[in-house]
Structure 1
């Protein structure tokens, strides 16, 4: 949560700076292509129980840490108000098994979660232009490394994304951007050595702040 607060604080500072300096700005309009480069905190909301393959309780829960990485978003405006955004980036996470005084490092893995969202921009010609969106993403786990005798396989799969954010004009085609997404994604993790598994609802908050440029 501390990382999310830092990202939000950075976003608020960018937004205030943009609002103070905005002049001769380029509004959003049909046909606009907009590139946002962001610093993003991905904060999974895990904590599901780990069971044996037969379903018996182990007293442990799955835990996945936060990760902060750069991401990019590329939007195309179909109309003045409606845009499609493709978001890309990759984050590294550590999976742990926790409970009853135990804290065991299980796996490190990279996640590539490309997301496509359809957005509605409420005030495309305004200096402060909020938007909401909804879309789909795909979670792809790769370049993983197991620890402490585990051999954890995590299933890839599709999720649903909800989004809200705002662009604040700075000058010309430049703008500041703050963006929050909630991704709903459930996967199954199964250990091939120790006979345990977990249904993991990652459901990460994805909180970003950055700078945009309109083409």
Structure 2
């Protein structure tokens, strides 16, 4: 067994409200976690965690994106127990969760409409937003399919008209958009320096 495997095993069970931090692991979906109800997660040893205590323990960061304002939390800055509990609820299949397409992304993600009125989802980070801060999601259980002829970058509203593609398929704000005062967020500026992909 590798040292990395040993470290991953040592993280289970979830520490008792440990303040330890850990490296980012995309494969860190807790195994054998049971969703008791819309606010409770039970670990294999039988202990139950309040999801909203875990949510409050995460270091949420404001992402003031002009096209999608939201908050995010990264794993290596988060308490292990809190990240694992919220991650388990977000990734689980439960009555308040569903798979849906967002804007021009070609693969659906799983979303959780939580009792606190916010929508949660997982990318590299844990994310949350007010549902009415963006246009409605297109749910898979309602027959939604990806939109293949999306007019603009996948992360922007369809046909917003403030981007243009270069010869390599990368999207950039138009000169007119920048002249009007549009300021893309740092994350989008970094993303626009590489080919658009759907593996984020």
> Per residue, is there more strand in 1 or in 2?
1
Give TM-score, length-normalised by structure 2. 0.21
Answer with 1 or 2: which has the greater Rg: 1
Give TM-score, length-normalised by structure 1. 0.20
Report which structure shows greater RCO (CA 8 Å, sep ≥6).
1
